[in-house]
Amino acid sequence: MRFHILILTICVMVAGCSDQQANFSPPTNQISTGLLPSDAELDPEKQQAIWDAEHVTFCLEQRFGKMFTTALKSHDTDALQTFFMPAASGEWVEFANDIFAQGGFEEQACSTNRTPLTFDALLTAIADLSAEYETISKVGFRVLSIQMTNETNAIWQSDVQVTVSGKLDGRTSYRKTIATITYQAETPLELGTKPFIHSWVTTDQITRSSEAALFSEVTARFTLDRLPLIDNWKIPAEQSAQYRSQLAVADFDQDGFNDIAIGTFTGEPILLKNIGGRSFNRIDQQVGLRRWAPNEETSLVAWIDVDNDGYQDLIMGNRIYKNVEGRRFSDITSSSGLSVNRQPMGAAIADYDADGDLDIYICYQYPAEDEPQKEGPSPWVGDDSSGGANHLWQNQGNGSFREVGQASGVSAGTRKSFAANWLFYNDDHFPDLYIANDFGTNNLLLNQGDGTFEDISFTSNTADFATSMGVATGHLDSDGRPEIYVANMYSKMGRRIIGQVSAADYPDGIYQQIKGSCAGNRLYSPSVDDPQRCEENSIALGINDIGWAYAPAFADFDGNGWADIYATTGFMSRDRSKPDG
């Protein structure tokens, strides 16, 4: 029985929270620490109820779902009819009259009005989800939530998501429909083989379309598919790894075209010179970049103009190079005083002390090899103690650096940091720092202007324990104050599971932390009422349920003057046709 309990515990921790309408507020007080998996064990009855619900979900998605999407893609109303009970009822939302249009992109959402439908009208409305499309590229079906409403008759209720993508009115289109269905699942393995749906109530619908794709895949055209980088999809599963490389972009030779530097765990430096925006040439050996030992376990790479000569210098692996007028690189590691521990997760560059030269902030997940190692099991949630301290390297103005992380208060404790981003949170000219921690509470550190920082994570409402793996900052509404977008884990399965438990199922403090650890991406926007605090708006803006998210970015992709968000997702998939995330 313990085996089953621990599996359930892990699913709840890493996956998601309740249904999409839930309010996942960041914590307002310091969280508990030192909690182990045994602290979150559920009683056998609750565990069995969740396993039963997930079994029904699996059958609903993998059996009925496949039959449903096949019927929908082929506009087969007769096949759709076989899934419904003869007296099935339905309701449907109405599209709003207004269509949002901008730069060739259009979006039409639904209103709050729902109309009761006859059975025939319901079937027609479902079939029309795809029938309006000239061509269909994909139809999807997912279960968002599940709840048993009548145990005696095996009646369940689920929120489901139906997606259709393809060509609509000559435009590339994506339509998402959310519906609440009530159904009988006395024999889950037979779902879809006979009538079982009692009601279908469409609660939300949105259609997005574009005149043309914003981006096109050009990897091969730029010869970037020939790089000596290990591909998890092409090697045996036991050889796959989570992290193998990092990259950074800058115009190192000032020819007007951005170049790419890649650091690898194998110790191989890669520098790709941009040839007039047409292709890339690899030149790392020609310009003096040297290999480092693979056992040094670093793929760190970052561009930084150390000496303000206008040329971007380069941190690569455990070395730092001076850019000699865009022609070659000279190793200045020894004289710089910079040292890099094993497995740095990345570097953030800024002039934190406003003295006119750039400084380096390096994130770590693990302690240095020469540091005392923590004994015993790591905490399960609220882990602020088992990681490595981050480092802040202050530029001394003479080509050397001094580590001041602990003294300035920006080491972030030992929270297994994943990423960091400098921003101007308040109105002064000293950059502040947001740190996304894979385990442990995220940090917002306010620069005091005297070389030290104040942790305002909780008072600003930006603290979180959301297994964060990236952060980007920028101005979305041009009000002069930055938004903070944090990449976290999200899973529909996890949200279903956590939706069936409550605070009463756990010791004090654990449930809130579980919800936080599976909350999806967060967007912190400055509060209108209180300039010292932020409001969390990711769900309202539709940018929460990204997946297993990493490394977001802000940029004006369509050149209309407004910042857009690029949100990446994925983990360690084994099959190119079935990407994880």
> pLDDT (tens digit, 0 to 9) for every residue of the chain, 581 residues total?
333 333 333 333 333 333 344 444 555 455 555 556 666 788 888 889 999 999 999 999 999 999 999 999 999 999 999 999 998 999 999 888 889 998 889 999 998 889 999 999 999 999 999 999 999 999 999 999 999 999 999 999 999 999 999 999 999 999 999 999 999 999 999 999 999 999 999 999 999 999 888 888 999 999 899 899 888 888 887 888 888 899 999 999 999 999 999 999 889 999 999 999 999 999 999 999 999 888 778 899 999 999 999 999 999 999 999 999 999 999 999 999 999 988 899 999 999 999 999 999 999 988 876 666 666 666 655 667 778 899 999 999 999 999 999 999 998 877 889 999 999 999 899 999 999 998 788 999 999 999 999 999 999 999 887 789 999 999 998 788 899 999 998 877 777 888 888 888 888 777 877 777 778 999 999 998 888 899 999 998 989 988 889 999 999 998 888 999 999 988 877 777 776 65
- Which residues are CB-neighbours of 2 under 8 A, at least 6 positions away? 41
In whole angstroms, give the CA distance from residue 476 to residue 535: 14
**Under a CB-based contact definition with an 8 Å cutoff, are residues 443 and 453 in contact?**
no
The values of phi and psi at residue 362, to 5°, are: -115, 130
352 phi/psi in degrees, rounded to 5:
-70, -30
**Is 134 within 8 Å of 167 (Cβ atoms)?**
yes
CATH of 44-210, one of 3.40.190.10, 2.40.50.140, 3.30.70.580, 3.10.450.50: 3.10.450.50
Tell me the C-alpha distance between 346 and 418, whole Å.
8
User: Both ends of the chain: CA-CA distance in Å?
Assistant: 29
What pLDDT does residue 378 have?
A: 60
DSSP for 553-567 reads EEE-TTSSSS-EEEE
Q: Give 68-109 pLDDT, tens digit per residue.
A: 999 999 999 999 999 999 989 999 998 888 899 988 899 999
What's the chain's Rg over C-alpha atoms? 26
Query: CA-CA distance, 149 to 151, in Å (whole number)?
Result: 7
Residue type, 513: Q
Cα-Cα-Cα-Cα torsion 460, 461, 462, 464, nearest 10 degrees, comes to: 140
Could you give the 3-state DSSP secondary structure of residue 295?
Answer: helix
- In contact, 300 and 340? CB cutoff 8 Å: yes
Residue pair 543/523 in contact (Cβ under 8 Å)? The answer is yes
pLDDT of residue 37: 62
Q: Cα separation of 446 and 98, whole Å? A: 42
For 199-222, the pLDDT digits (tens) are 999 999 999 999 888 888 999 999
Q: Which fold has domain 337-490+520-580?
A: Methylamine Dehydrogenase; Chain H (2.130.10)
Is the distance from CB of 77 to CB of 186 less than 8 angstroms?
Answer: no
Number of Cα atoms under 13 Å in the Cβ half of residue 265 = 13
Residue partners of 256: CB distance under 8 A and separation at least 6: none
Count of alpha carbons within 13 angstroms of residue 370, beta-carbon side:
2
pLDDT of residue 368: 74
Q: How far apart are CA 437 and CA 427, in angstroms?
A: 26
Beta partners for residue 395, in sequence order: 401
Residues of the chain with CATH 2.130.10.130: 337-490+520-580
**Confidence (pLDDT) at 425:** 94
**Distance (Å, whole) CA 316 – CA 268:** 10
Tokens at residue 490, please? 């999200």
In this predicted structure, what is the pLDDT of residue 372?
A: 64
Amino acid, res. 307? D
Tell me if residue 94 falls in helix, strand or coil: strand
Residue found under tokens 């709050």:
112
Neighbours of 345 (CB within 10 A): 23
Distance (Å, whole) CA 159 – CA 202? 9
User: Structure pTM?
Assistant: 0.87
Segments of the chain assigned to CATH 3.10.450.50 = 44-210
Q: Please list the residues that pair with 167 across neighbouring strands.
A: 135, 172
pLDDT at residue 22 in the model: 42
The residue whose two tokens read 């793929």 is 299
**From residue 505, how far is each of 29, 140, 425 by CA, in Å?**
21, 34, 38
Q: Are 442 and 468 in contact (CB under 8 A)?
A: yes
Q: Which residue pairs, CB below 8 angstroms and at least 24 apart, start in 109-112?
A: 109/205, 109/206, 110/204, 110/205, 110/206
Q: How far apart are CA 306 and CA 398, in angstroms?
A: 9
Distance CA 15, CA 494 (A): 4
DSSP-H helix ranges across 93-145: 119-131
